[in-house]
Structure 1
Amino acid sequence: MERNRLDEKKTRAPSGAAVPSAVLTEQLYRAFLEEWAERGFAALSLERVAARAGAGKAAIYRRFPSKLAFADAVLDALGPSVALPEDTGALESDVLSFLLRLRAVLRHPLVRRILPDLHAEAARSKEMRAINTRVAAARRDLGRALLDRAVARGDLPHSLDREHALDLLPATLYWRMVVIGRTPSTKELRTIASSLSAALRRL
């Protein structure tokens, strides 16, 4: 969910104007994220989401039967914005590429505010837990592809504990950016990538 993807379509049509379906859907997605970030999912109002998007509430219900279904669709639509890191040919530089892409996602202010609330809601609601699990699985698939490439190249052993490795890959960056609220520099990411690569080789 990179910054430019969230910011690229802020223009809203005047109330009552015809809006292409795809454009309106993007506007509704952004409005939903803004409302979620400001108020939390529990207090999120679909009426306010519609107003932010310059649309009627009916525009939402034509697309989504409930607030939960709307959240699921928004997170699913934003998923592809995190692409598989490039194959650099070496483990440490692959890990650095992964961290750089993850930092681009986590540094967006909406994402930083929504993620903790998503996890909190997942602890209270089995439906939100299912959504959170699916989002996490998609992210882990990217890390799994990175690890598989490293194993195929001989950079990591075939006996690698992949689940442990997948926990390690994002952990330091997520802790610093989402829990502590500090964005590491590229120099710091290089150090993290070096430490992670060394740890992965020992798993």
Structure 2
Amino acid sequence: MDLSTSVVVFLFLTYHLCEAGDRSYNSVLMVSNGGERGEWGQIEFCPKGHAYGFSLKVKTERYQGVIDDDTSLNGIRLHCSSGAVVQSTVGPWGVWTKVKECPTGYLVAFTLKVEAPQGLGDDTAANNIQFQCGDGTVLEGESTNFGTYGDWSKPCPTGAICGIQTKVKDLALGDNTALNDVKFFCCD
């Protein structure tokens, strides 16, 4: 490894360790079907422990079509074994659903329900999420029916989900999509 490559690797690792605060993580869970719009928010971690459940911020109005703008999924909260609740960037619309909890264990993998870009139509991007618990139970959020589920993420290689980072499109003229994509972080 030459000096310039060493510097790049050092800066990359330093950046990610700083982002993680005092938590270290062993893996990042992603899916390939996330929406393209928006900016990535801050990574937020359970201060201790792992996520045993989640809740969603959802705009659940009837289909608006060309008359108004649908957004559907606006935020995801992780409920941590330490009692903390953490979230990354959240869109401004909707209300929080009840918490969905693993019967035993913690969240270890996910799949995202996303509506493909609609061209001149109304885009909603991410619409719902499913998590797999360590015991194999699958939990699905309460959200709209737009879109389809993509492939499952890889599961946490060890431990369970302990952090979140969301990609959200801010308020804008035209078509708002709110939450477009999400990454989860695994801790031992």
TM-score (norm. length: structure 2):
0.23
Larger radius of gyration: 1
Flag the structure with higher strand content.
2
Flag the structure with higher helix content.
1
TM-score (norm. length: structure 1):
0.22
- The structure whose RCO (Cα within 8 Å, separation 6+) is larger is 2
